[in-house]
Amino acid sequence: MSATFTIGLDYGTNSVRALVVNTANGREVGTAVWNYEHGTAGVILSRDPNLARQHPADYVKGAEVTIRRALADAKRNVRGFKPGQVIGIGVDTTGSTPLPVDANGQPLAFQKKFAKNPAAMAWLWKDHTGVAEAAEITDLAKGIRPQYLAKCGGTYSSEWFFSKILHCRRTAPEVFDAAHSWVELADYVPAALTGTEAPDKLTVGICAAGHKAMFNAEWGGYPDAEFLSQLDPKLGALRARLRPTAKSIDESVGGLTADWAKRTGLPAGIPVAVGAFDAHLGGVGCGIKPGALVKIIGTSTCDMMVVPVVSGTGVSPVQGAGADRQDACPTTGKLADIPGLCGIVNGSILPGFYGLEAGQSAVGDIFNWFVNYIQPGGKTGTHETLTKAASKLQPGESGLLALDWNNGNRTILVDQRLTGLLLGQTLYTTPAEIYRALIEATAFGALTIINRFEEYGVKVEQIINCGGIAEKNPVVMQIYADVTGRPMKVSRSAQTCALGAAIAGAVVGGAHQDYASAQKAMTGLKPRDFKPNPKAHDIYRRLYPLYRKLHDAFGTKEWNGNLFDVMKELIQIRNTVRKT
Least confidently predicted of 160-164, 296-300, 381-385: 296-300
What span, in angstroms and rounded, lies between the C-alpha atoms of 335 and 328? 5
Query: What is the model's pLDDT at position 102?
Result: 98
Angle at 453 between CA 447 and CA 457, to 5 degrees: 140
Using DSSP's 3-state secondary structure scheme, residue 495 falls into coil
Average of per-residue pLDDT values in the chain: 93
| Alpha-carbon distances, residue 20 vs 135, 396, 436, 503, 520 (angstroms) | 42, 45, 37, 11, 18
pLDDT tens per residue across span 131-163 = 999 999 999 999 999 999 988 888 898 989 999
The answer to whether 422 and 440 are in contact (CB under 8 A) is no
- Taking the CA of residue 79 as centre, how many other CA atoms within 13 Å lie in the half-sphere pointing to its CB? 0
Give CA torsion, residues 444, 450, 454, 460, to 10 deg. Answer: -140
CA–centroid distance for 435 within its chain: 24
Do residues 357 and 348 lie in contact, with contact meaning Cβ atoms separated by under 8 Å? yes
Task: Show me where the domains of the chain are located.
Answer: 5-277, 288-490+533-580
Residue 509 has pLDDT above 80, yes or no: yes
pLDDT of 332 strictly over 50: no
Low-confidence winner among 84-88, 341-345, 423-427 (lowest mean pLDDT): 341-345
Whether 515 and 350 have beta carbons less than 8 Å apart is answered as: yes
How many residues can be counted in the chain? 580
Q: What's the CA gap between 574 and 296, in Å, rounded?
A: 32
* Angle at 273 (CA atoms; ends 268, 276), nearest 5 degrees: 140
pTM of the model: 0.88
Pick the CATH number of 288-490+533-580 from 3.30.1330.40, 3.30.420.40, 1.10.287.3510, 3.40.50.11540: 3.30.420.40
Spatial separation of the C-alpha atoms in residues 308 and 290, rounded to whole Å: 7
Alpha helices in 78-178 (DSSP H): 131-144, 146-150, 161-171, 173-178
pLDDT, residue 319, reads 36
Query: CATH homologous superfamily of domain 5-277?
Result: ATPase, nucleotide binding domain (3.30.420.40)
316-325, 359-368, 426-435, 544-553: segment of lowest average pLDDT = 316-325
In sequence order, what are the beta bridge partners of 133? none
Of the two residues 18 and 333, the one the predictor is more confident about is 18
Contact 463, 488 (CB under 8 A): yes
* Residue 333 pLDDT greater than 70, yes or no: no
For 524-576, how does the pLDDT look when each residue is reduced to its tens digit (9 = 90+)?
999 999 999 999 999 999 999 999 999 999 999 999 999 999 999 999 999 99
Q: At what angle do helices 57-77 and 185-194 cross, to 10 degrees?
A: 70
Neighbours of 289 (CB within 10 A): 19
Tens of pLDDT, residue by residue over 114-123, are: 999 999 999 9
Phi, psi of 36 (to 5 degrees): -60, 145
Q: Looking at the predicted structure, is the pLDDT value of residue 317 above 80?
A: no
Beta bridge partners of 182: 100
pLDDT of residue 1: 57
- Supply the DSSP string of 162-219, one letter for each residue: HHHHHHHHHH-HHHHHH-SEEEEHHHHHHHHHHT--STTTPPPBHHHHHHHS--BGGG
Residue 311: pLDDT band (50, 70, 90) is low
d(CA 327, CA 474): 38
Q: pLDDT tier at 335 (50, 70, 90 boundaries)?
A: confident
* Cα dist from 393 to 119, 382, 473, 475, 580, whole Å: 46, 17, 16, 11, 12
Per-residue pLDDT, 232: 98
* Cα–Cα dist 13/474, whole Å: 24
pLDDT of amino acid 313? 34
Q: Do residues 191 and 63 make contact, with C-beta atoms less than 8 angstroms apart?
A: no
The rounded percent of the chain whose pLDDT value lies above 90 is 87
Greater confidence (566 vs 415) lies with 566
